[in-house]
A and B are shown apart, each in its own frame.
Chain A
Amino acid sequence: MSIFEVRHLSKRFGDLEVLKDISMTIEPGEIVSIIGPSGSGKSTFLRCATLLETMEHGTMKYQGNVVCEERPGHGAVYAPGRTLKKMRAFFGLVFQNFNLFPHWTVLKNIIDAPISVQGRPKEEVLAAAKALLKRMGLESKADAYPCQLSGGQQQRVSIARALISKPQIIFFDEPTSALDPELTSEILKVIKDLAAAHMTMVIVTHEIEFARHVSDRVIFMADGVIVEQGPPEEVIGNPKHPRTQAFLRKLSHADN
């Protein structure tokens, strides 16, 4: 069964239709990159998927569990709050700006939600957090505050914070856009390690080369629709749609 499934998603902000009839399924272990110009609706799509925004139309499921369902005349009807709360444990979201809680230590940032939201035993969570910190190379930073860390370290903490809830899928919203090139590679390495461990991931990114290397599938979005999708060597290596070609050409010009 697919981990994530969305059908005929549409979303508008006032008169502006940001997402138009988006459908997508993500299979277990799959790594999908979403690329596209600013304002193409990539981030809004991620925000709909992670319940930060509600969509007007469409059906969305996590592992077959209905988050919202299209009903004729009503649009997308969401499941009751209790169900949604449970659903939040299915996914994790890594933000562009990390959004760590500044008044808590690194360790507290990671362990608080599993303990006080999911009600997991403290000892088990602590052990898991220590293992995650080790995996992220941050063992020595457990008692530091976010403001004492570099951007790359903060982003690694926020990835650990997402991982500790044992999500079935993790969404990354431009995880390196707030970082300089050196720190970017630090985060990309973490994501590659997760890929090697078969974590299911959806990554919105501007790092085209990275998307080419890490993903099983690349989705190109523009103006609220999925223009083209497929294996990276096709979408990035040999794009068929003129819109994709124009976008990639502009990027390579910007690089030179």
Chain B
Amino acid sequence: MKWSRLSLILIRGFNVIGLLVAGYLFTKLMISSIDWEWLSSILIQLLKGFGLTVAIFGFTLLFSMPLGMALCNVRMSRLKILSWPAKLYISIMRGTPLMLQILIIFFGPYYVFQFFNLDISLSDAYRFPAVIIAFSLNYAAYFAEIYRAGIESIPIGQYEAANVLGYSRLQTFFKIILPQVIKRTLPPVTNEIITLTKDTSLAYAVACAEMFTIAKQLAASQSSMAPFVAAAVFYYIFNFVVAYVMERCERKLNYYQ
């Protein structure tokens, strides 16, 4: 147990070191000698974009996780008139590219306004909200399905025991079902969160100035791969932290089976 944990940490550590070394060598290949001033200016610009990346990440989780729960409840409704649209929504959100969804959310209003002959132009300030809306709507669909799998995996006996003891439906869900669902869905949710970190780069489609957008601009203006390599390192470190935190959460919930 201890050894496997230690080796896991070591392997993770080597991964980071390996990537850093690779990045260093790669950078060295791209340019004849390292210009530290130049490199640090790149890093600083990337870090500014990284703030926006983290913001997209955070806001998306904040909105999509509860939205997914609501969607999951509608999806699991016995009324076909409720469950069917939810099913269709999930199908569309999962079946089309996220980048396309971002573009539609961002440019869509423009065409709607035009249709109604309204003279409203899109402001730059809409880029970030559009990205958040698109990400939240998309991730809610995935989370809804993860929650559904979790809820359906809870034995019917749990509901029956709660029923006989007199718990209301809300109490049953929040006190008895949800905590068990959280434990069971933590691994797939972790997967989703890690994917989200990398997906934030799709925001470059609407020129939202997050890290990847900046890396791309820098790479073009500097004719160098270094910004991409540096961005990769940032993404990796961030996900390394995410995986570590989620692992801790899982271990914390391991007190029961």
Q: In the complex, what residues of B have CB within 8 A of residue A117's CB? A: 165-167, 171
Q: In the complex, what residues of B have CB within 8 A of residue A146's CB? A: 256
For chain B residues 165-208, which have a beta carbon within 8 Å of chain A?
Answer: 165-168, 171, 175-176, 179-180, 183
Is B222 in the interface zone, CB < 8 Å from A? Answer: no
On B, residues with C-beta under 8 Å from A are 155, 157-158, 160-161, 163-168, 171, 175-176, 179-180, 183, 255-257
Write the nearest CB–CB distance from B187 to chain A, whole angstroms: 17
Q: Identify whether the interface residues of B are mostly helix, strand, loop, or mixed.
A: helix
> Which of B164, B179, B255 counts the most chain A CB atoms within 10 A?
B164
Is A63 in the interface zone, CB < 8 Å from B? Answer: no
Interface mask (A66-101 → B, CB under 8 Å = 1, otherwise 0): 000000000000000000010011011101010111
19 pairs, A vs B, C-beta closer than 8 Å: A51-B163, A52-B164, A85-B166, A89-B166, A95-B160, A97-B157, A99-B155, A99-B157, A99-B158, A99-B160, A99-B161, A102-B256, A103-B180, A113-B166, A116-B171, A117-B166, A117-B171, A145-B255, A165-B165
Complex Cα–Cα for A52 and B161 (A) = 9
Is A161 in the interface zone, CB < 8 Å from B? Answer: yes
Q: Identify whether the interface residues of A are mostly helix, strand, loop, or mixed.
A: loop
Interface size of A in residues (CB-CB distance below 8 Å): 26
Residue of B nearest to A81 (CB): B168
Q: In the complex, what residues of B have CB within 8 A of residue A145's CB? A: 255-256
Asked if A101 meets B160 with Cβ closer than 8 Å, knowing A113-B167, A116-B171, A117-B165, the reply is no
For chain A residues 199-220, which have a beta carbon within 8 Å of chain B?
Answer: none
Is A50 in the interface zone, CB < 8 Å from B? Answer: yes
Q: In the complex, what residues of B have CB within 8 A of residue A165's CB? A: 165-166
Q: In the complex, what residues of B have CB within 8 A of residue A116's CB? A: 167, 171, 175
Complex Cα–Cα for A113 and B176 (A) = 11
Is A251 in the interface zone, CB < 8 Å from B? Answer: no
For chain A residues 125-168, which have a beta carbon within 8 Å of chain B?
Answer: 145-147, 161, 165
Q: In the complex, what residues of B have CB within 8 A of residue A88's CB? A: 164-166
Complex Cα–Cα for A148 and B27 (A) = 55
Asked if A103 meets B164 with Cβ closer than 8 Å, knowing A112-B175, A116-B171, the reply is no
